[in-house]
Every structure is written in C-alpha cells, then in structure tokens.
Amino acid sequence: MKGKEHSKAVELRRRGYSVKEITRQLGVAQSSVSLWVRDILLSDAAKARLLKRIKVGQFISAENKKARTRETEERYFREALKEIRGRPDYTKILCAMIYWCEGTKNVKTGLTFTNSDSSLVKVFLRLLRKSFKLDEAKFRPCIHIHSYHSAGKQLDFWSQVTNIDKSQFIKPYRKPNSGKYIHEGYQGCISIKYHSNDLARRLTAVAKAFMASMGA
C-alpha cells in the first residue's frame, strides 16, 4: 500500500502539486510525503503550477486573516456598546477617549501613545492600568529630546512619570534643534508603545462605541 502511495506522491509532485496538496489527496502523513518527494526535480511547467498555487494560497490566507480581524473588531465594538448602554465603566471610557485623541489609530502596530504633557501621560497610564490587566514587560517607551537635554536626566524624569523601569526604555531620539531656542522647563516628549494589537483594538472599540452611543 505504501508503495502505491509513494509512487502516486512522486507523480503528483512531478506535476507541480505541493506537499500539502499531496498529503490531503493521499491521506498520509505530511512527513512521509516530504521524505518521498524531497529529491524530485520539477519541470518548468510544474514549477509554474506550484508557484501559482502558493500565491493563491497566500492570498486566501491573507483574506481569511483580514476577515478574522474584522470579526474580532466588530465583536469588541458590540461588547463595548452593550457595556456602555448597561453599566458603563467611565474609567475605561475616559482612557479610551484620551487614547482616541492622542494615540495612534493604526492598531496593527500595537498601542502607541505620544505626548509631552507629563500630567496627561501619568493620567492615561493610571487609567489604562486600572481598566485592563497588563503585562508591564510589554511597555517600550522612547523619549524624544533636543540637543540641550541631558538624556540621563530626562530618562529619570519620564521613568518616574510613567512608573516604567528605565531598562525598558529604548534609545532616546534626539530631535534636530538649532540650539537658538531653549524651552525652559520643557521635558521633551515620550512615545509609549505597549506591544499588544489586541489591547489597541479593545481600547479603540470602547472609544468608537462611546461616540456611537452619543450619536456621533
């Protein structure tokens, strides 16, 4: 029986079938198929078929991923809207609205909040920590400073403001500055990234649901 499956696998491979296609068609282990066809040389026609199938498969996979993402975002929106219309959590709503105004809208990159107002940064993080269960290790802040700033002093300042350990901060970004204008008391700004697309989607959903409940 294995001999017949082996021969059929070789035949299909020479015609440009992928290992997964052969596995599904023959109903055998993928590891066996990989072993049987690993030394098969493909003709140009077989290579063309295989490449086409790979591209189609990648397209289908990408579309399925987009559909799953849309379903997740719609579910988060429905859940947030139900909560707001029932027993609203105003701490979470305020956090979401601050983020909607000052955070990044591209949830694919995770949650990113950038601001120079230390009081607003402190309030946002306090609300965020109270509203969601966070993994503090996922925070990666970056301070944006001018040439006249001391990187060490600003790092100390923003670490205290955010209550995030200095070891989690990435290398400071120095903004171009002519040196002619020094803003007294300006502490630079901070960009706080939290590596979670899911949290960004949840927070965005709360903001959208709140605005929808207000007729916006």
Burial of 128 (0-12, 13-18, 19+ CB in 10 A): buried
Burial of 17 (0-12, 13-18, 19+ CB in 10 A): buried
Let me know: does 91 contact 210? Beta carbons within 8 Å. no
What CATH number matches the domain at 2-66, 3.40.50, 3.30.1560, 1.10.10, 2.40.240? 1.10.10
Dist. CA 142–CA 66, nearest whole Å = 30
pLDDT of residue 181: 64
Q: Which residues contact 162 (CB under 8 A, 6 or more apart)?
A: 121, 122, 125, 139, 141, 190, 192
What CA dihedral angle connects 103, 169, 167 and 149, to 10 degrees? -130
Share of the chain above pLDDT 90, in %: 59
What number is the average pLDDT over the span 38-60? 83
pLDDT in tens, 123-169: 999 999 999 999 999 999 999 988 888 899 999 999 999 999 999 99
Domain regions of the chain by residue span: 2-66, 79-213
Three-class SS of residue 180?
coil
Residue 113 has pLDDT above 70, yes or no: yes
What CATH number matches the domain at 79-213, 3.30.70, 3.30.1330, 1.10.10, 2.60.40? 3.30.1330
Say which residue the tokens 């901060």 belong to. 169
pLDDT of residue 64: 81
pLDDT in tens, 13-42: 899 888 888 999 999 998 899 889 888 888
Dist. CA 208–CA 185, nearest whole Å = 36
What number is the average pLDDT over the span 97-123? 92
Ordered strands of the 139-145 beta sheet: 111-115, 189-194, 139-145, 173-174
Let me know: does 180 contact 135? Beta carbons within 8 Å. no
Indicate the pLDDT class of residue 216, thresholds 50, 70 and 90.
low
Closest of 212, 203, 206 to residue 113, by C-alpha: 203
pLDDT of residue 149: 85
Indicate the pLDDT class of residue 177, thresholds 50, 70 and 90.
low
